[in-house]
Amino acid sequence: MRGLRIILPAATRASLAAALVLVPTLAAGGVELKPGPSGRKVITNENEVQRATRLAPRLVEPRQDELIPLIERHARDRGLDPALVRAVVQAESGYNAAAVSNKGALGLMQLMPTTAVELAVASPFDPEENLRGGTRYLHGLLERFDGDVTLALAAYNAGPSAVERYGGVPPYPETVEYVRRVLSLWQGGDAPSVGPARRRPLPPARPVVWRRDGHRAHLTNIDH
């Protein structure tokens, strides 16, 4: 039995040839056939994460005037100046509760995921939770740096260990500009220039010696 031969019109043959050339290219780019909503096959290069993101409910953005009472309440609860917290929120997210930075900071006060966990913030994009955690964190930094707002803001941006390591505002352009901007927003005008700190020289080490305490001897570098 001879093979069946089908003669197709020239236009159809051209379309089929183009499709056969295109299939390997699409497969290389991650494009595949998937069932669509109606059950028909559709060509897509959307992965499962992209699809879940597209179909997820969008967070409704609260308006700035709706956030002000919330900010002021959380600021007062932590003994903070509401104007300072508002300045931090504006500098961090521009009052965007769904903001995500290129470093992964989240929400109004741009909490890093690890910081959010430490502050028991389960939903960083929820304004109530984000402000509760962010004001708690800012309050803790002010306590850590003896109420010095400049150092607390520098620590909020660069981390407290960096501020302690440099003995002041770390010499990072982003941090220097961040502190300047928040102070300017807080004070309602031009803030004083914020210069990066220089490393403080470590005090000379005291010699470690043996000292006798009653019937026991121990090593120490503390003068008696």
Any bridge partners for residue 212, and if so which? 217
Beta bridge partners of 213: 216
Residues labelled as active-site residues: 92
First CA to last CA distance, the chain: 111
Residue 96: how many CB atoms within 10 A of its CB?
17
Q: Measure the CA–CA gap between 187 and 184, rounded to whole angstroms.
A: 5
Exposure string over 97-134, b if 16+ CB within 10 A, otherwise e: bebeeeeebbbbbbbbeebbeebebeebbebebbbbbb
**Rounded to 5 degrees, what are φ and ψ at 133?**
-70, -40
Which 3 state secondary structure label does DSSP give 36?
Answer: coil
